[in-house]
Structure 1
Amino acid sequence: MNNNPIGIFDSGVGGLSVYQAVRKHLPKESCVYFADSAYAPYGKLPREELHKRCQHIADYFIERNVKAMVIACNTATALMADWLRAEYDLPIIALEPAIKPAASLTRSGHIGVFATENTLHSERYQRLVAQYARDTSIHQVACHGFVEQVEKGELDSPKTLALIKQYLQPLLEYKVDTLVLGCTHYPFLASSIKKVAGAASLKLLDTAEPVSLQLTRVLAKHDLFNEIALQNDQFVTSASPSEAQTIFTKLLNRPVKVQQG
């Protein structure tokens, strides 16, 4: 079982930011990455449909004997993590917006949160804010269009930069100095966000590194480390494999073969 792969999934290619962190911290492990791009963004998906998609992907992973599953999607975590953990008997690592570290890092007392609508409206997110950010001002934005731009590989196109400016400018006027990237797609826009922010002092926080480290701890706890360097990674999409291959290759900066899932 130790040689079995780790399953990682997201509504699309955004979770590749988590995959990259996993690859860095666990170089001997193999991964199966499932991009559910035909149904992206999850932030707009009805809860019943999201449930069906998460069940389909989890079953796909089980058929491939994954030893652990990473929910590399804030929306799926917020709405489906508890159900997945109750339904499937394997370690499941989820993520959540970095509200706690943002609250400790801000100097202005103003935190920005870029996330999907479903994440911002979820009970899990609201609990995080109530628990860790009571003494700070939260400026949250549902960034419609960000996921679609990353899915197309348009990380710094004029349209993408215009969208970023539209959502970021009001936060800068509120003196936001810490911005939580509450969707795994958004780290791929980090350079463009910093470009739009210009001289403004803005710290960007995402959860790829913490999730990867938590996965490492979980594998250690269950004695699931792979001691042989297999690295037989597989990439799967529910959309067009040929189109996905182009985007995966661009985001990972290396040739990638993508299968239909």
Structure 2
Amino acid sequence: MRIAFFDSGIGGITVLHEAMKQLPHEDFLYFADTLHVPYGTKSKEEVFTFVKKCVDTISKEDVKALVIACNTATSIAIAELRKTYEMPIIGMEPAVKPALEMNRSSGKRVLVFATPLTLKQSKYRDLVSRIDDMGMVDSLPLPELVDFCEQLIVESQQIIDYFHTQLIPFDLSLYGTVVLGCTHYPFYRGVLKKILPSHIQIVDGSAGTVNRLIQILTHRDQLFGRGDGDLKFMCSNNDTAYIEKMEKALKMLRNVGE
């Protein structure tokens, strides 16, 4: 049986990559909703419909767990998905809590990069209001970054200029941590390390999500460890060119050691 990962596009490959590092003897399935990417600029109702249809397809495969490797899809659909399917479903949330903990001693602020739809959802607002008792978290929507990532435009002057423009309103000396609150965004970790002040740490939710996946499968006695890291790619429009793009994106992550 495989561990499945779902995202609107190639972003969730950052989470898949983390899982493949931690669980080298499991087999995997990755499903991208290529018919509807990106999710972050669409309505809540549209995204829920898209996610439900894709998860229906995934559930027909031989999978033992599903990771919703998309912050937007998690915030909108995960509660209903867990009511509908028997397999364990693990979601994503922006790593705001660990970011705040990293900054406790310094008193520095946290800046969350995410899609507009994630930032609009009550799940995100409730998370921040629950743990940010000192009002130290700021949020920045970066919808264009998903489009850049889907084109595999990662290290270029265009991206550097984009970040510089988006960060103009922020005094970065006040911040200690940047949270990558969309699974597409870790593709830009290398660029951000170059353009952000050296004191700013960059975090995302991939490791925490995979740790949760391991806990759940261990509890269910389903960490078999008899696979060989076999990976099956699927997408909602059965586009072989996009599958090749996903393979290339995974190779990019492996090459940079992220």
Fold match by TM threshold 0.5: yes
Deviations 1:119-167 (A, max 9, x none): 1111111111111112142221110200000110000122222211122
Count of residues in Structure 1 that have an aligned counterpart in Structure 2: 250
Q: Quick check: 1:103–1:136 contact (8 Å CA) kept in 2?
A: no
What is the letter of the counterpart of residue 226 of structure 2?
A: I
Paired with 1:41 and 1:177, the residues of 2 have a C-alpha distance of 29
Secondary structure of the 2:226 match is coil
What is the RMSD of the two structures over their aligned residues, measured on CA atoms? 1.7
Deviations 1:92-139 (A, max 9, x none): 111100111111112243110100111111111111111111214222
Residue in structure 1 matched with residue 102 of structure 2 by the alignment:
105
Residue in structure 2 matched with residue 258 of structure 1 by the alignment:
none
Answer with 118-127 or 164-173: which moved more.
164-173
Paired with 1:168 and 1:37, the residues of 2 have a C-alpha distance of 30
Once the two structures are superposed, the pairs formed by residues 180-219 of structure 1 within 5 Å of their partners are 180-197=179-196, 199-219=197-217
Q: Quick check: 1:161–1:196 contact (8 Å CA) kept in 2?
A: yes
Deviations 1:151-191 (A, max 9, x none): 10000122222211122343344621211100000000111
Once the two structures are superposed, the pairs formed by residues 77-92 of structure 1 within 5 Å of their partners are 77-92=74-89
Q: Quick check: 1:25–1:216 contact (8 Å CA) kept in 2?
A: no
What is the letter of the counterpart of residue 43 of structure 1?
A: G
Paired with 1:216 and 1:184, the residues of 2 have a C-alpha distance of 19
Q: Quick check: 2:235–2:243 contact (8 Å CA) kept in 1?
A: no
Deviations 1:190-225 (A, max 9, x none): 11112222x442111101111111101100011111
Shift of residue 241, structure 1, vs aligned partner: 3.0
Once the two structures are superposed, the pairs formed by residues 238-249 of structure 1 within 5 Å of their partners are 238-239=236-237, 241-249=239-247
Paired with 1:226 and 1:172, the residues of 2 have a C-alpha distance of 49
TM-score, scaled relative to structure 2: 0.91
Residue in structure 2 matched with residue 65 of structure 1 by the alignment:
62
Structure 1 unaligned regions, length at least 5:
255-261
Secondary structure of the 2:143 match is coil
Q: Quick check: 2:20–2:229 contact (8 Å CA) kept in 1?
A: no
- Does residue 94 in structure 1 map to residue 91 in structure 2? yes
Secondary structure of the 2:179 match is strand
Paired with 1:27 and 1:45, the residues of 2 have a C-alpha distance of 35
Paired with 2:217 and 2:122, the residues of 1 have a C-alpha distance of 28
Paired with 2:55 and 2:187, the residues of 1 have a C-alpha distance of 25
- Does residue 124 in structure 1 map to residue 128 in structure 2? no
